[in-house]
Chains A and B, each alone.
Chain A
């Protein structure tokens, strides 16, 4: 079945560092891909999405490109802030039933 694998955390960086969180997927069709963020004590918020190959999703300085050839959707940000500290989830949506398949989440800690 479909699955999502993302890098284990926690990832600890200093403020203004470059961020990459790896995400790869397995799917039989052509899913939509998402990054959700969960701040402490909060629900899940959509950070960005891409619906087809080579699409780039972007929001709040974060970017991710749908790479069909490598089945990847890595999250990047050029300069992280302390306020980016959260748990980041990669997910895919099966186009047949629109169910979300989730990665395990990556905790990001940004130190001042």
Chain B
């Protein structure tokens, strides 16, 4: 079974630039999460999708972050404009509707300079 795919693995941008991350969850997984993990900390939930609908985006900084999952499969997370404090690993995870276990991708390491 293929795992959660994320791209790119690494990205370096200057502050005020924009960036986008892509995630392809495990086939059949209705729930998709985006997390931000700052070095030395646990993951912080940014947004949770159920199919193509948003379940929780209460911790998403909506002035600069946006995410979509238009067809209920792939998802993109965008930051525009980026700030230095956005430097982190962005993790995508997915699970089925009935299973509590979430499967994670390898993450995208973003460095804002």
Which residues of A pack against B, CB within 8 Å? 32, 34, 36, 42-46, 49, 51, 89, 91, 93, 95, 97-100, 102-105
Contacts and interface: CB of A to CB of B under 8 A. Distances in A.
A97 B58 CA distance: 14
A104 B42 contact: yes
Contacts, number: 48
Contacts of A98: 31, 95, 100
Contacts of B105: 43
Interface string B67-104: 00000000000000000000000010101000011111
B110 to A, nearest CB: 14
28 contacts: A32-B100, A42-B106, A43-B6, A43-B91, A43-B104, A43-B106, A44-B43, A44-B91, A44-B93, A45-B104, A46-B101, A46-B102, A46-B103, A89-B42, A89-B43, A91-B42, A97-B48, A98-B95, A98-B100, A100-B33, A100-B43, A100-B45, A102-B42, A102-B43, A103-B42, A105-B40, A105-B41, A105-B42
Interface residues of B, number: 23
Q: Is the interface of A mostly helix, strand, loop or mixed?
A: strand
